[in-house]
A and B are shown apart, each in its own frame.
Chain A
Amino acid sequence: MSNKTNSYDIPADRAYDREHHMWAQYESASGQVTVGIDTLGLASLGDLAYITLQAVGMPVKRGESMGTLEAAKMTGDLIAPVSGVIVARNDNVVKNPSIANQNPYSDGWMVVIKPSDWVNESTQLVSDEGLPAWVESEIKRYRGQGWVD
């Protein structure tokens, strides 16, 4: 199931950082979280030209930088949606950032994090029945602010 509104695809099988538009998909078998950028975040940034990501083994903290990016519209930090340690990094997306624009929810993943406090931090993410209203309000907000057409 996914929330597809006006071409912004927000799959319901994962959770989202409300502010920074990073998605986080928890795998109960491994206890790890795969992280990437959602389609609304990508639409606000434009085509990605460059990405850097912290190395495997580095600690990251929710709300703080886990890498940097340059897109058509701006440069900035990639903000970690959960705290923990990076256990895998997608070097393919670093070498070819357009993968994230093309397949944000599959090949375009950024890092895998071993979370330090998933139970508490995941409550600060939006998921499941909270998604439709959030997606709708975010599209409205982004349109109003000129981020997306």
Chain B
Amino acid sequence: MNWRLITDDGVTAPFGLAADETLAQRVGMNLSEPTLRLYTYRSHCALVGRFQNVENEVRVEYCRENGITINRRPTGGGAIIMGEDQLGVALTIPGRGEDNYNHARELMGNFSEGLVRGLNQLGVEARFRRKNDIEVNSKKLVGLGVYRAASGGLLFHASMLVDLDIALMLRVLNTPFEKLSDKGIDTVAGRITTVRRETESHITLDEVRRVVADGFVSAFDVKLIPSDFTVEEHAQIAKSEQEKYLSEDWVYQTTAVPDSNGSAKVKTPAGLIDVSVTTAGAIIKAVFIGGDFFASENAVADLEASLRWHTSQPEKVAGTVEKIFQNRSVEFNGIQAEALIEAVTKAVSRARVAERQMRADPYGCYVNPGGAYA
């Protein structure tokens, strides 16, 4: 089986996003071949997830002042920054018909396997975390997303951190971490890693791209044929840029489900637990577990990742925390699962109260969606 391999660098955010979505639409209609695209964005852009509100996720004023473009991905998940040190990986394949591919979760596993095998070639012991991360020792190295086009075509997207300017990320994105401080940088460094950090080298992006391509060849048993976009694809990408990704209506659209934040502190004999959560309706979008207790950074990061994009139902939160504790309770060094469950559920409960207050305020941020991009 042959796939096209497209490598392009320094692309603008509208072009990069329009190209991925266009290829997904076209491959579902058998108008384009299955394609692996390994590319970089022009430094720097901030890309929010499909349904995020830009103002919640990105420091818009800072971006404007510093020439950082903002756009919206077709895939879900959280906001990221992309530039010359982050490798974009986009695999577009048919999602139905007579193809021999399996579907989403299994395919996401296969897609991840291509990336993991590439990283393994560099000696990086990466592993796929179900849903949307590839990690090394519980630190996120690759973010994953999948988008199913109306045509049935599937887009698997990944952003691989070859390197990351954490201080810049903290200035660009709204995060629960302290900005412009060593503590904030240390906190992020405990949860995110990069290829250069893991290999303790200044490996080039091209070298990483080469091993990732090899990883896909090995994982999918395909032959990659270096190629470029066709004339028809270029025309459709340009149309998508004009109509969608260059449109403020697309980038700055808002959702009917407002984000809300809540935090809670719980005192325990082993120390204070301080939890902050961001919820979107009944979903926990992000959770940050801090405090003055001593626990393995990896175990805390593992728990945080397990609760991301997780239902906020208390019994399910409890089930997930208990599952982590089955294998890692020692690493929490005296902190009990019950105390963490209490802190998370209290924080969620406060976020829900904040959400109700926001909905009750007619001048709040609630906006009913619809229009061109519903």
From the candidates B51, B96, B147, name the one contacting A74 in the complex (CB within 8 A).
Answer: B147
From the candidates B74, B145, B146, B150, name the one contacting A79 in the complex (CB within 8 A).
Answer: B150
A sample of 14 inter-chain contacts (CB < 8 A) reads A47-B282, A47-B309, A47-B310, A49-B281, A50-B280, A52-B370, A54-B374, A68-B374, A74-B147, A75-B74, A91-B256, A145-B105, A146-B109, A147-B103
Chain B residues near A44 (CB, 8 Å)?
103-104
From the candidates B76, B103, B109, name the one contacting A49 in the complex (CB within 8 A).
Answer: B76
Q: Is A35 an interface position by the 8 A CB rule?
A: no
Task: Give A23-36 as 1s and 0s: 1 = Cβ < 8 Å from B's Cβ atoms.
Answer: 00000000000000
Instruction: Give the residues from 61 to 85 in chain A that come closer than 8 angstroms, CB to CB, to chain B.
Output: 63-65, 67-68, 70-77, 79
Q: Is B75 an interface position by the 8 A CB rule?
A: yes
Distance (Å) between the CB of B270 and the closest chain A CB? 31
From the candidates A67, A95, A146, name the one contacting B103 in the complex (CB within 8 A).
Answer: A146
Contact yes or no, B374 A72, CB < 8 A: no
Contact yes or no, A64 B106, CB < 8 A: no
5 A-B pairs closest in CB distance: A146-B106, A76-B148, A98-B282, A50-B51, A75-B76
Q: Is A94 an interface position by the 8 A CB rule?
A: yes
Alpha-carbon gap, A63 to B280, bound state (A): 29
Contact yes or no, A55 B371, CB < 8 A: yes
Distance (Å) between the CB of B192 and the closest chain A CB? 21
Instruction: Give the secondary structure class of B's interface.
Output: loop
Contact yes or no, B309 A72, CB < 8 A: yes
Q: Looking at A50, A67, A77, A146, which has the most chain B CB atoms within 10 Å of its CB?
A: A50
Alpha-carbon gap, A49 to B146, bound state (A): 15
Distance (Å) between the CB of B323 and the closest chain A CB? 14
Distance (Å) between the CB of A140 and the closest chain B CB? 13
Contact yes or no, A77 B149, CB < 8 A: yes
From the candidates B106, B310, B311, B368, name the one contacting A94 in the complex (CB within 8 A).
Answer: B368
Q: Is A10 an interface position by the 8 A CB rule?
A: no
Q: Is B283 an interface position by the 8 A CB rule?
A: yes
Alpha-carbon gap, A34 to B256, bound state (A): 22
Instruction: Give the secondary structure class of A's interface.
Output: mixed
Contact yes or no, A47 B311, CB < 8 A: yes
Alpha-carbon gap, A53 to B280, bound state (A): 18
Alpha-carbon gap, A53 to B147, bound state (A): 17
Distance (Å) between the CB of B69 and the closest chain A CB? 21
Interface size on A, residues (CB 8 A): 33
Give chain B's interface residue range (CB within 8 Å of chain A): 35 or more
Q: Is A97 an interface position by the 8 A CB rule?
A: yes
From the candidates B103, B109, B147, B374, name the one contacting A75 in the complex (CB within 8 A).
Answer: B147
Q: Is A3 an interface position by the 8 A CB rule?
A: no
**11 additional A-B residue pairs with CB within 8 Å, beyond A47-B282, A49-B285, A52-B51:** A19-B96, A47-B309, A50-B255, A52-B370, A55-B370, A68-B373, A77-B150, A91-B256, A97-B257, A145-B104, A147-B105
Alpha-carbon gap, A50 to B224, bound state (A): 36
Q: Is B131 an interface position by the 8 A CB rule?
A: yes
Contact yes or no, A72 B257, CB < 8 A: no
Alpha-carbon gap, A144 to B117, bound state (A): 24
Alpha-carbon gap, A68 to B370, bound state (A): 10
Q: Is B4 an interface position by the 8 A CB rule?
A: no
Chain B residues near A49 (CB, 8 Å)?
51, 76, 257, 280-281, 283, 285, 309
Chain A residues near B50 (CB, 8 Å)?
50, 68, 70, 75
Alpha-carbon gap, A55 to B368, bound state (A): 11
Instruction: Give the residues from 255 to 285 in chain B that come closer than 8 angstroms, CB to CB, to chain A.
Output: 255-257, 280-283, 285
Chain B residues near A95 (CB, 8 Å)?
256-257, 281, 359
Known: A77-B150, A97-B257. A67 touches B281 (CB 8 A): no
Q: Is A103 an interface position by the 8 A CB rule?
A: no
Chain A residues near B106 (CB, 8 Å)?
145-147
Distance (Å) between the CB of B155 and the closest chain A CB? 9
Which B-chain residue is minimally distant from A89 (CB atoms)? B370
Distance (Å) between the CB of B28 and the closest chain A CB? 11
Contact yes or no, B104 A70, CB < 8 A: no
Distance (Å) between the CB of B352 and the closest chain A CB? 11
Q: Looking at A19, A67, A70, A94, which has the most chain B CB atoms within 10 Å of its CB?
A: A70
Distance (Å) between the CB of B171 and the closest chain A CB? 27
Alpha-carbon gap, A65 to B24, bound state (A): 15
Known: A47-B311, A94-B256. A72 touches B283 (CB 8 A): yes
Alpha-carbon gap, A53 to B255, bound state (A): 11
Which A-chain residue is minimally distant from B104 (CB atoms)? A74
Task: Give B124-141 as 1s and 0s: 1 = Cβ < 8 Å from A's Cβ atoms.
Answer: 000000010000000000
Task: Give A85-118 as 1s and 0s: 1 = Cβ < 8 Å from B's Cβ atoms.
Answer: 0000001001111100000000000000000000
